[in-house]
Amino acid sequence: MRLTLAVLIGLALASIARADKAKIAPELQKLAPAATVDVIIQYKQTPSPLHHAKVAAVGGQLKRSLDIIQGAHYSIPASQLETLSNDPDVVFISPDRAVFATASTSPYTGSPDYGWRTVGADLATSVFGVDGTGIGIALIDSGINANEDLENAQGHSRIVYQASLIAGSGTADNYGHGTHVSGILAGDGAQSSGKQSTYLVRGIAPNANLISLKALGDTGAGTDSAVIAAIQQAVALKNQYNIRVLNLSLGRPVTTSYTNDPLCHAVQAAWQAGIVVVVAAGNDGRDNSLGTNGYGTITAPGNSPYVITVGAMNTVGTLTSTDDKIASYSSKGPSSIDQVVKPDLVAPGNRIISLYQSTSWLDATYPGNAVAKSVYMNDNGKSVPAYFELSGTSMATPMVAGVAALMIQQNPSLTPDEVKARLMKTATKFAPGISTATDPTTGIVYTDEYDIFTIGAGYLNIPAALADNETFSGVALSPTATFDATSGQVFIQPGALLAVWGTGTVSPTLAVWGTGAVWGTIAVWGTSTPQAFSDIWGTLAVWGTGQSSGEIVTLAINGDN
């Protein structure tokens, strides 16, 4: 057997005449030959021992199997990339890219958190009788630490499973981000119940179960391979823990088409396995480094047309949603390279108060974000703060993921596509308009237009989503946009066979989808779009071919006033 395997490997390597550079991600094509690089190789089928042996024969090492994407994570000499690329079984070779939490910090302002009430989470229980009971939400993040707000009525933790996908790291959340996100998903406000109910710090699905899959390290950074392995584990545990929703408050720059991106392939696989995948849009809406005013900055895997991609809104500290505005840092579409229409909708994400981890990196670095006890508790409460404030699309994402859990509790037969369609259809629509935000530190004024690449289908509306019982058939892929340089118009091309989204039908030839139920009457593109926005269209990625910025964390960005 060993001789046969050696002969097969020898024949395979001998048949390679030249590299197929179309199979190699641009970032890998100019590496020094002596370098060793971690890569993810995707194959036409689930890789076998023979595939691993071919990599080993050129000095590579298997680090992790990623069968969910028919791939694997290897460490290999850069000089052998070209050799491996010409293997007919290889589909694409990518670097094991860095991913980051999509939260930003801002000094605590002393205002209570109204986010969950603004979008109607209180009515989910009082009117519709749902609180996430029995639904498992997988959170791929920096881990979740035990917390009183994450216990059930019997005092047992609702964190029903924990695992770390980071070698040598335990399951504890030493960064603080995952614990904060978990409170938005499923916190029940137990530690804030000593004051008026208006000040309750509660999550969207306060009795859902949590599955913690740690893929981000102690400073909020991780890798594609760890996140993909976590997604793979979530799918494997789906039936055991009734995992119906997956929250990804993380991202990285888009550097290749979603059709080649292993991270996008993983979220697609989870979606097709029956799990609603909710992803942060990113925090680069203020980035004008390429003259796009933040357009084209959606991060991966939020660029996947399958998933629900969420942008962040600013509640401006009131219970009503009528005065809310888009957070200036919320990333805008269309997605780089593929021009997928994103985000899909927006939700509260600015200055959100949620669970606090006193020993975390975030607390040590930003101690001013701890919330004063007087905000949520009478004087007889705990002396140690229980809550922390963060801003970002990281905070908006669990708002939507929590609602998905509520919808599925109400109707367990809902598919991911039906959940996405209903959320987009029932989202509160915006009239065309402009809002501004001033950075409190720099004084820079940011202007945002309310087009579909900024606010998607609209603002999360929980009661409307739960009240909707309209049937939907088809695949709810986010559509793509194309730019006609002659007319200067942007056209929407449906991404799949879409049935009726409510009462309006979809026409692929209209620059605006008319008065259909998904987007309403908002403009596809702002009315004062600079000419430079045309740079988004064409063959060049917004992020360029070699940029791998870690700015997705954007911890220096202040939340909007």
Secondary structure, 3-state, 208-234: CEEEEEECECCCCEEEHHHHHHHHHHH
CA–CA gap between residue 462 and residue 30 (Å, rounded): 49
Task: Answer yes or no: do 42 and 163 share one domain.
Answer: no
Half-sphere exposure of 14 (CA within 13 A, CB side): 6
Whether the predicted model's global pTM rises above the 0.85 cut = yes
Task: Answer yes or no: do 54 and 189 share one domain.
Answer: no
Task: Answer yes or no: do 252 and 183 share one domain.
Answer: yes
Task: Answer yes or no: do 249 and 384 share one domain.
Answer: yes
Half-sphere exposure of 155 (CA within 13 A, CB side): 0
CATH label of the domain that carries residue 428: 3.40.50.200
Q: Is 394 designated active site?
A: yes
Cα-flanking dihedrals φ and ψ of residue 488, to 5°? 75, 15
Q: Is 141 designated active site?
A: yes
Tell me whether residue 559 is in a domain.
no
Tell me whether residue 261 is in a domain.
yes
Bridge partners, 559 (sequence order): none
CATH label of the domain that carries residue 88: 3.30.70.80
Domain end among 74, 96, 118: 96
Task: Answer yes or no: do 278 and 163 share one domain.
Answer: yes
Q: Is 41 helix (H, G, I), strand (E, B) or coil?
A: strand
Task: Answer yes or no: do 278 and 192 share one domain.
Answer: yes
Tell me whether residue 277 is in a domain.
yes
**CB within 8 A of 300, min separation 6: which ones?**
251, 252, 253, 254, 255, 258, 261, 263, 264
Domain end among 42, 72, 96: 96
Domain end among 30, 65, 96: 96
Instruction: Write out the two tokens for 560.
Output: 């909007």
Tell me whether residue 78 is in a domain.
yes
Tens-binned pLDDT, residue by residue, of the chain (561 aa): 333 233 223 333 333 334 457 899 999 988 998 999 999 999 999 999 999 999 999 999 999 999 999 999 999 999 999 999 999 999 999 999 999 998 766 655 555 556 777 888 888 989 999 999 999 999 999 999 999 999 999 999 999 999 999 999 999 999 999 999 999 999 998 888 765 555 678 899 999 999 999 999 999 999 999 999 999 999 999 999 999 999 999 999 999 999 999 999 999 999 999 999 999 999 999 998 888 889 999 999 999 999 999 999 998 777 777 878 999 999 999 999 999 999 999 999 988 999 988 889 988 888 888 887 777 765 555 556 788 889 999 999 999 999 999 999 999 999 999 999 999 989 998 877 889 988 878 888 999 998 889 999 999 999 999 999 887 777 889 988 877 777 767 777 665 433 333 333 333 333 333 334 465 555 555 555 444 344 444 433 333 333 333 333 344 456 675
Number of domains in the chain: 2
Choosing from 87, 96, 141, 149, which is the catalytic residue? 141
Domain that holds residue 11: 2-96
Task: Answer yes or no: do 80 and 165 share one domain.
Answer: no
Task: Answer yes or no: do 57 and 181 share one domain.
Answer: no
Choosing from 394, 439, 448, 451, which is the catalytic residue? 394
Tell me whether residue 107 is in a domain.
yes
Q: Is 15 designated active site?
A: no
CA–CA gap between residue 57 and residue 458 (Å, rounded): 53
Task: Answer yes or no: do 43 and 164 share one domain.
Answer: no
Q: Which of 90, 185, 172 is nearest to 135 (CA)?
A: 185
Tell me whether residue 560 is in a domain.
no
Task: Answer yes or no: do 53 and 164 share one domain.
Answer: no
Is residue 186 within 8 Å of residue 113, measured between CB atoms? no
Tell me whether residue 517 is in a domain.
yes
Helix axes 393-410, 177-186, angle to 10 degrees: 40
Task: Answer yes or no: do 114 and 92 share one domain.
Answer: no
Task: Answer yes or no: do 19 and 109 share one domain.
Answer: no
Choosing from 177, 225, 304, 468, which is the catalytic residue? 177
Tell me whether residue 548 is in a domain.
no
Q: What one-character DSSP code corresponds to residue 544?
A: -
